[in-house]
Structure 1
């Protein structure tokens, strides 16, 4: 086996100035060649410069900022109680969890400690982690402000600040919360902001808080991925489900997007009734159910994930070969970010939009705005066409096998003591955060990232977990 030094010298990250300890941690994951956004930003970020990185979702932004953050903090200092040394802000809990997962091997190599903070779960474990001392804190804005207001977190010793998916923060109305947080971060802290697009709101954030930032752009989100094939199939309402089931039964991972939470739940159920191993992901699910369903999709237990736009930018899953827009999105940025779930890490991918006849004009306008020239199939979804677009055998499980397979993913919930049902409005609350709702926070709810829906949550099968979700964007 080659030595660590040999591995490092042959690694593209070494040439960018990444410390050998971190190079080896990446190599253990078979990550040896920097992506364009990593190659562009790392020399400046490792040098301590403020950085504005623009790149599409899936371009490798998380490693681009986790590496310099880890390198800077690996200086022998120790985190003190309630005072994290670095802060990574994320718009959704799913993205926060995946960023924490990205940091894990780097933390293991350096001995740095991390914690993740978001709503939808009880805050006590988060409070205990902060009390022990945290080097890297990954957080959603609302819950973080709650903990700051209660005295559990103090940002006065932050050395590195990262804002990921800044444009998504703006779309969700989180920038007022983000500004409140940044006002508490020392002006001397290194700041890195990563975004797929740079609109006026994000640009205002850059001008106010970043000092002479170096701007790098790679794989702009305004243009489609070169290795992505786009198709639009015109289907009538009676043929839509048959077409969708045929596509999802093919080999490989498939993400299906719907416009509403109810649509995601209904579509996942209909696919399972047709023998497709499909699970749902939307804002009405409890955090435990969302985590289980996403993990099942990662591991291949469920080959299809039916999601609202909550997954368009907050979920990073490699090896997704097919994205299906069961409901075309309302605007072109959502189309591009949804479609960006496939063709990741240099791999090819296919995107199929199912269009009802009366939506033809709307879909064409959407494609023009996205600068996409899809292949149009206006004669319907024949079996020959579907086999051509998504080749390979189809697998439809019988009810018993499907129940057994997904039962391992979504076990029946355990009864919880002293839990009272709560009724809330089905809307987002972008404007409030901090300590003003302490009594609610003690019951595990964060009001700054999302208010839960009044509908009961389901984990994707009969008898699923019914706790509500309180973080991340509210899907319509």
Structure 2
């Protein structure tokens, strides 16, 4: 068994002092990153020295640059010609969204040292990925399932990998990916450097550490608990008034991320919020990849101010300035609570976490709080309570309903609008036009006006495209 030796490193004030090459220091500065976060300051010296590293830090602590910088520095120090289907570095991530965000974060740094990156994940056509692999890639960011497909079909080999990163390793375990991860790691050279980053170190992760990491240095930088500076509120509401309270919170200025327990519940909540005037879109496993990407872009850009998601967004989704996280449905276990809550107050920003609790959820929410190590402020309230304005300050802005077109009768007694189903392109066009109309007619509402009916402009736009039934994201 490998011996893990914990080590603590005093935070440095500059990346250069930690041994980061000048070209990467400049690339980091160009994207506004000049001061290392604790997880980066702790792990970079060992990772840059070629050591295997086991890093534990809570979500939002800056782990991406902690593994991306030493990986890129290693490859840049030993330039090599790109070979078709033989990447030099591999980053494994549990979800498509996380893989996409990792690649987006490291691509500018890779370009600065003349390295090429590529993402590989399921839910999209494989042709473009196959072409990218054939043209040669330095850093491959992949989800386990699709990568294994490419290996079995002969499109990629891992025998030239010099460094492997496992990001959100505990989430891979939760999703049941560890058998596939082991098959992939077995195909990388034993001498390759391995960096494993996780918010928690459960038994499944320890198996990976013992089997694949050689004499790793362990850095426990952040406890796997909610940040102490983030206010946590539990709002005790009735079933009948829960939606009205949620609308009040979501209509406040800033981005709101709402978590639902199931895909159906996320879809229903999105529709209800849109009908109440909140520009909301959805994110869950039944959406096709193009719709998921489009909705995340809309949320990040601010054209939709509320994202209603399942736990697919609890890990790896980084959107700047999420002011409020609302657990519309309390999660089943405390780790999900921590990761959901970690979508706000990221990288030193501020934010607030709210859990909506009904009478039948009291015991479960109390247990969640104890296990998560938080002491939330619990308040029984109804719509219009002054605390709602304190939690989410600012005027409430809702979207006025677009004017409905009058239905035209047909010879068969049905309206012309319902005479034939719309094609996919027509649905997309309609959703886009409705969204544009809604964005152009926003108004400030009083609490009494919050249940205004609205055509599902944002909801229609979010669902346009192919949907995928069942299955986990690769």
Same fold at TM > 0.5 = yes
CA deviation digits over 1:337-373, x for unaligned, max 9?
A: 1101111111221111001112112211221121111
Q: Distance in 2 between matches of 1:282 and 1:184?
A: 32
8 A Cα contact 2:274 2:458, kept in partner:
no
Q: Which residue of 1 aligns with 2:468?
A: 468
Q: Distance in 1 between matches of 2:403 and 2:348?
A: 35
Q: Alignment partner of 2:182: what SS?
A: helix
Higher Cα Rg: structure 1 or 2?
2
Unaligned 5+ runs, structure 2: 1-11, 405-422, 427-456
Q: Which residue of 2 aligns with 1:329?
A: 331
* 1:88 aligned to which of 87, 91, 99: 91
**What is the CA distance between 1:23 and its match in structure 2?**
0.8
Q: Which residue of 1 aligns with 2:166?
A: 163
CA deviation digits over 1:182-236, x for unaligned, max 9?
A: 0000001010000000011100100100000010111221x22022100101111
CA deviation digits over 1:141-190, x for unaligned, max 9?
A: 01101100010000000001000000000011100000000000000101
8 A Cα contact 2:274 2:459, kept in partner:
no
Q: Alignment partner of 1:468: what SS?
A: coil
Relative to structure 1, is the Cα distance of residues 27 and 413 closer, same or farther in structure 2, using a 3 angstrom cutoff?
Answer: farther
Q: Distance in 2 between matches of 1:58 and 1:379?
A: 31
**What is the CA distance between 1:460 and its match in structure 2?**
3.3
Q: Which residue of 2 aligns with 1:425?
A: none
Q: Which moved more, 1:364-373 or 1:464-473?
A: 464-473
Number of aligned residues: 414
8 A Cα contact 1:130 1:153, kept in partner:
yes
Q: Alignment partner of 1:399: what SS?
A: coil
**What is the CA distance between 1:72 and its match in structure 2?**
0.7
Q: Which residue of 2 aligns with 1:240?
A: 242
**What is the CA distance between 1:318 and its match in structure 2?**
2.3
Q: Which residue of 2 aligns with 1:175?
A: 178
Relative to structure 1, is the Cα distance of residues 225 and 11 closer, same or farther in structure 2, using a 3 angstrom cutoff?
Answer: closer
8 A Cα contact 2:244 2:383, kept in partner:
no
Q: Alignment partner of 2:15: what SS?
A: helix
Q: Alignment partner of 1:131: what SS?
A: helix
**What is the CA distance between 1:379 and its match in structure 2?**
3.8
Q: Distance in 1 between matches of 2:129 and 2:115?
A: 17
- Residue 204 (str. 1) matches residue 207 (str. 2): yes
Q: Alignment partner of 1:191: what SS?
A: strand
Relative to structure 1, is the Cα distance of residues 247 and 348 closer, same or farther in structure 2, using a 3 angstrom cutoff?
Answer: same
Q: Alignment partner of 1:12: what SS?
A: coil
**What is the CA distance between 1:382 and its match in structure 2?**
3.6
8 A Cα contact 2:122 2:146, kept in partner:
yes
Aligned 1:12-161 pairs, distance under 5 A: 12-74=14-76, 75-161=78-164
8 A Cα contact 1:289 1:459, kept in partner:
no
* 2:343 aligned to which of 329, 341, 344: 341
TM value normalised by structure 1: 0.84
What is the alpha-carbon root mean square deviation over aligned residues? 2.1
Q: Distance in 1 between matches of 2:363 and 2:53?
A: 41
**What is the CA distance between 1:470 and its match in structure 2?**
7.7
Aligned 1:191-340 pairs, distance under 5 A: 191-221=194-224, 223-340=225-342
8 A Cα contact 1:231 1:376, kept in partner:
yes
Q: Distance in 2 between matches of 1:132 and 1:413?
A: 33
**What is the CA distance between 1:273 and its match in structure 2?**
0.8
Q: Distance in 2 between matches of 1:371 and 1:233?
A: 18
Q: Distance in 1 between matches of 2:248 and 2:129?
A: 43
**What is the CA distance between 1:29 and its match in structure 2?**
1.3
**What is the CA distance between 1:459 and its match in structure 2?**
8.7
Q: Distance in 2 between matches of 1:243 and 1:94?
A: 29
Q: Distance in 1 between matches of 2:424 and 2:39?
A: 42
Relative to structure 1, is the Cα distance of residues 459 and 389 closer, same or farther in structure 2, using a 3 angstrom cutoff?
Answer: closer
TM value normalised by structure 2: 0.84
Relative to structure 1, is the Cα distance of residues 472 and 94 closer, same or farther in structure 2, using a 3 angstrom cutoff?
Answer: farther
**What is the CA distance between 1:274 and its match in structure 2?**
1.1
Q: Alignment partner of 1:335: what SS?
A: helix
**What is the CA distance between 1:472 and its match in structure 2?**
4.7
Q: Distance in 2 between matches of 1:284 and 1:380?
A: 33
Unaligned 5+ runs, structure 1: 1-9, 403-411, 416-457
**What is the CA distance between 1:316 and its match in structure 2?**
1.6
Q: Which residue of 2 aligns with 1:441?
A: none
**What is the CA distance between 1:330 and its match in structure 2?**
0.7
Q: Alignment partner of 1:180: what SS?
A: helix
CA deviation digits over 1:218-259, x for unaligned, max 9?
A: 1221x2202210010111111111110110011111100000
Q: Which residue of 2 aligns with 1:392?
A: 394
CA deviation digits over 1:258-310, x for unaligned, max 9?
A: 00001111111111111111110000000000000001111111111000001
Q: Alignment partner of 2:397: what SS?
A: coil
Relative to structure 1, is the Cα distance of residues 293 and 104 closer, same or farther in structure 2, using a 3 angstrom cutoff?
Answer: same
